[in-house]
Amino acid sequence: MTTESVAVEPPLALLAELTHRCPLRCPYCSNPLMLDRAGAELDTATWQRVLSEAADLGVLQVHFSGGEPLVRRDLVDLVGHAAKVGLYGNLITSGIGLDTARMTALSEAGLEHVQLSLQDSDLVRGDRVAGLTGAQQQKHFAARLVREVGLPLTINAVVHRGNLERLGDILELAVALGADRVEIAHVQYYGWALRNRASLLPSREQLERATALVEAARTRLKGVLVIDYVVPDYYARRPKACMGGWGRRFLNVTPSGKVLPCHAAETLPGLRFPTVAAAGLADIWYNDPVFGHFRGTRWMPEPCVSCERREIDWGGCRCQAFVLTGDATRTDPACALSPDHALMAEARERAALAVAEPASSTEPDFTFRRFTHSPRQSPEFAP
Amino acid sequence: MTNAPAVAGGTVLRFAAHAKFRFDEVRQAWVVLFPERLLLPDEQAVAVLRLVDGGRNADAIIDALSQQYEAPREVIAADVLAMLQDLADKRVLRE
């Protein structure tokens, strides 16, 4: 048992999930299985208060996300308010619904950057994964609008077994669309993506080809395109430092106003999440038990607690530990030192079996994201 | 987007339109904000960045710093050029 405690510093970034509504239905969506409906969303005045509180707390950047943030009619007002209180504003969007007037208004309101998602370089396959015909062409149009108003553009391409073979084309497309940065984001297996894991997880050979391709492209495109790329958890030897550590750098406000240490944290049982209706962000950040729960190193089990990387990896991802082992306090199985690391190999083997079935290799059997008719609230238990 | 410049002694750099170098009152520290990234520069990096004004070239920045720190010019030059190149590649600085 260690007695050291890590000083709580102000958060760097706020993920403002304005809505769960989205015209797309991607089967790896990072939103929870139980989506907030429009009627549950925070109103404009509350979001503006949250943004002001975030700036006072020391948040430097705000990422407007969703769902699709463009479906919020007050998006320009919220972007403008963020700029007014000194937050660096980023729009994370599918690009669906963006037009010249909206783009100009967002830029004039003080937006600094746009991150545009792309499902594939192949229009038909991309639209199939997005669940919307014509989506990819609308995204190409949106990229042009971003560049026309002079904002920097990041392309975010989520990669998986079904599009990894076209990674080279995706990078070329990002350059052609005027991006100066691209995130090649391997699917993270929580929520919707976990349901579709056997259809999405790439093979080791695919992954090695992709990684080599990225290395070559980084050299070739140095000074033209910055490529962010991280090896996926299921092939990693060390876990990702999820969120830079629980309650260390990042907070997330959901459409209905819950405040989370990460966007997937509601998948963890036994935590009662605070809301912006009940407390201010600073009070939540420094005093709420949920934010203290996995903060620092005191909660850690072995092998984390005696590991020299404990303040680098921060134990990896709590949600992944829970979803794979049933215990959120265990070491992330992505770590080769975890006693549960064999779970990753088992998942890879199951995915390899799915590839071997001809029917599923040509037309993966995705569960697309959708609003359910189940109760709106996810179950909560008092700690 | 134009390519990042190769930084040499005569290169004049300034902050890109969407990079913000500002003092954060909450932390009482300088910060650099740019798309989906931020830097919390240390004291020496702040000293370099405060001289990046779109007027001085890299040589002039190195001269000013070697006087300020009374350090050998070639040592400072290597550090400053490497840092400026890195920030140009990251699109924080541009010509």
Q: What is the pLDDT of residues A22-80, one digit of tens each?
A: 999 999 998 988 899 999 999 999 999 999 999 999 999 999 999 999 999 999 999 99
This model of the complex carries an ipTM of 0.90
Q: Do A51 and A85 touch, CB atoms closer than 8 A?
A: yes
pTM for the full predicted model: 0.91
Residue A332 is classified by DSSP as P
Measure in Å the smallest separation between the Cα of A375 and chain B Cα atoms. 35
**Does any CB of chain A come closer than 8 Å to the CB of residue B36?**
yes
| Residue A115 reports pLDDT greater than 50 | yes
Whether residue A152 and residue B18 make contact (CB cut-off 8 A), yes or no, is yes
- Give SS3 for A290: helix
What confidence tens digit (pLDDT) does each residue in A275-324 have? Answer: 999 999 999 999 999 999 999 999 999 999 999 999 999 999 999 999 99
Whether residue B31 and residue A60 make contact (CB cut-off 8 A), yes or no, is yes
The CA dihedral of A166, A171, A172, A177, to the nearest 10 degrees, is 120
Whether residue B36 and residue A150 make contact (CB cut-off 8 A), yes or no, is no
| Residue A177 with chain B: CB contacts under 8 Å | none
DSSP letters for A32-67: -SSPPPGGGS--HHHHHHHHHHHHHHT--EEEEESS
Q: Do A323 and A267 touch, CB atoms closer than 8 A?
A: yes
Residue B77 — φ and ψ, nearest 5°?
-60, -45
**Distance in angstroms (rounded) separating the CA atoms of residues A63 and A113:** 10
Least CB–CB distance from B36: residue in A90, A222, A223: A90
**Distance in angstroms (rounded) separating the CA atoms of residues A356 and A88:** 47
**Distance in angstroms (rounded) separating the CA atoms of residues A75 and A102:** 9
Residue A271 is classified by DSSP as -
Name residue A169's amino acid: D
Among residues A188, A171, A184, the alpha carbon closest in space to that of A236 is found at: A188
Residues B32, B36, A243, A173, CA torsion sign: negative
DSSP letters for A97-140: T--HHHHHHHHHHT--EEEEEE--SSHHHHHHHHTSTTHHHHHH
What confidence tens digit (pLDDT) does each residue in A154-192 have? Answer: 999 999 999 999 999 999 999 999 999 999 999 988 888
What confidence tens digit (pLDDT) does each residue in A195-236 have? Answer: 898 889 999 899 999 999 999 999 999 888 999 998 888 898
Buried b (16+ CB within 10 A) or exposed e, B15-46: bbebbbbeebeeeeebbbbbbbbbbebeeebb
Pull the structure tokens for residue A331: 């070491």
**Does any CB of chain A come closer than 8 Å to the CB of residue B60?**
no
Share of chain B above pLDDT 70, in %: 98
